[in-house]
Structure 1
């Protein structure tokens, strides 16, 4: 009997997907299946998936973005427990076991694991992960007050996922839907629980252009989220206090001393990129649908 379904959205990244699946087929823990959702890749991903046996299913859809792909995978899942990761991630062998154990069969619990940067020599990938690490500490993930978890290391009950409506597919540029999902879960369903021993390694290579676009996209996602919250009548601060931004820039120095100075500069630049994406999206008149 299948207890858990691992869902992996993928688009035009066959080599990254192969590395992810190599890590997933060796998972220990509950009986599980793997569902890859090919989000309309130019070259179908089924040949890659076929290398990994009957435990894996590949579903192909027209390109609609990762939120839609995750929802497609969840709808097809046979396990009660849904575990989400991405094709550029390599979960450690006990990842599913730890995530499932932390969930504990509590349907009201949304559980998120720890993400480690798999490319320590890539400064842009490193800074992006440093930013996530800072957010997890600032919002108190370990104390149970985190308002969201990143969608590359996430687990929940299938029935509750469906009751909540899954990921909102209206978010532009694949940015922000995980924040929205976590906030909706916390507001209507139950607790968000951090499982730091459920670890994935993230292999997301970047250059400066990709780094800027990623964080600009996060800004566009934040603008869309704020519009959604306004429409729902949910009053939340749209900006963090100044201490948040000061702490963000100083975070690499706290972690690495003076060796973190370049990281601090890039951490500040992430916020410039986000502001750019936020106001560019606002000027373009992006509206929720």
Structure 2
């Protein structure tokens, strides 16, 4: 984890006490002050019997808007202890790793500056931890559509909008198909420290839309047979920005996801050639062929959404193939 200056706006109230919070809530933010203000206000309104169980860490990742002022106001009015960190190194992983270094909680609970927080969010996480003592836990994420869905939207794009719902019953995770997302997951701090924090090869950096740094943590937890709990009773919402409704933004996010996917496949690969995982090579070639054929079929009238999807598939997998050839993400 990179070293960087930590600026604490509020005095560390734990300095004279052996008591540590149970949960450190982590929000990393970059030039999204209006939405951040709403999320922080909702966190302040969370109902919990013992506020000392919670601390909130807000990492300003080099913002140029009014983020600092918003955090200062929150630190003065919040019922929870607040830590304000400034991370000059651009990137979500760098910001999360700073929070990991600053946190005093036994668990770190991650969310985003565009999350819609319900009043029972913290109390449900505290209850789930006290009843199950998991190594990691996470809950549902729903998308807040305050505009009509774009014409090109398909339900298969749900994960790209950070939608997550594995049902109404809690269960332990033992398969990669039930991964968590960064907007609503919690993990023991000592395990994250043991793993070295979040990979700086992944995660958003400025205008880059790479992702997958929490997925890598998820894979490590599974590999080590850690206790991972899904429970549905602490959902958060995802407030969409205007840009997230646009074709251009979604196309960039979908195609850039090839790099994240390739990196993760290289991590878990068993079969390799020239230091590269074999599976993404076969996957990308097959997907380019199938996507091209699908694109031809979708040229018929009335299939514009399917045409859009097939074009994305071709673009994404061509990018994966090019990255595989140059050896990007080799382990």
Partner of 1:68: 94
Count of residues paired in the alignment: 271
Candidates 236, 261, 268, aligned match of 1:229: 268
Q: Is the 8 A contact 1:103 1:110 kept in 2?
A: no
What SS class does the counterpart of residue 197 from structure 1 fall into?
coil
Shift of 1:106: 5.5
Partner of 1:6: 25
TM normalised by structure 1 equals 0.78
Q: Is the 8 A contact 2:140 2:236 kept in 1?
A: yes
Q: In the aligned structure 2, how far is the partner of 1:231 from the partner of 1:154?
A: 28
Q: In the aligned structure 2, how far is the partner of 1:80 from the partner of 1:36?
A: 17
1:200 lines up with 2:232 in the alignment: no
Candidates 114, 121, 126, aligned match of 1:95: 121
Which runs of structure 2 are paired with 1:1-289 in the superposition (5 Å)?
Answer: 1=19, 2-29=21-48, 31-43=53-65, 45-54=67-76, 55-104=81-130, 108-123=134-149, 127=154, 131-132=158-159, 137=166, 144-147=173-176, 148-171=179-202, 173=208, 174-205=210-241, 206=244, 207-230=246-269, 271-272=313-314, 274-283=316-325, 285-287=327-329
Structure 1 residues 214 and 57, CA gap change in structure 2 (3 angstroms): same
Structure 1 residues 85 and 263, CA gap change in structure 2 (3 angstroms): farther
Shift of 1:201: 0.6
Q: In the aligned structure 2, how far is the partner of 1:17 from the partner of 1:50?
A: 12
Q: In the aligned structure 1, how far is the partner of 2:171 from the partner of 2:304?
A: 28
Which of 1 and 2 has greater Rg?
2
Shift of 1:108: 4.8
Q: Which runs of 5+ in 1 are unaligned?
A: 246-260
What SS class does the counterpart of residue 64 from structure 1 fall into?
coil
What SS class does the counterpart of residue 232 from structure 2 fall into?
strand
Shift of 1:12: 1.5
**Structure with more of its chain in helix, by fraction:** 1
What SS class does the counterpart of residue 59 from structure 1 fall into?
strand
State the Cα deviation string for residues 206-242 of structure 1 (Å, max 9, x = none).
Answer: 1111111111222210011122334998x99656x99
Shift of 1:107: 5.7
What is the RMSD computed on CA atoms of the aligned residues?
3.8
Q: In the aligned structure 2, how far is the partner of 1:198 from the partner of 1:75?
A: 26
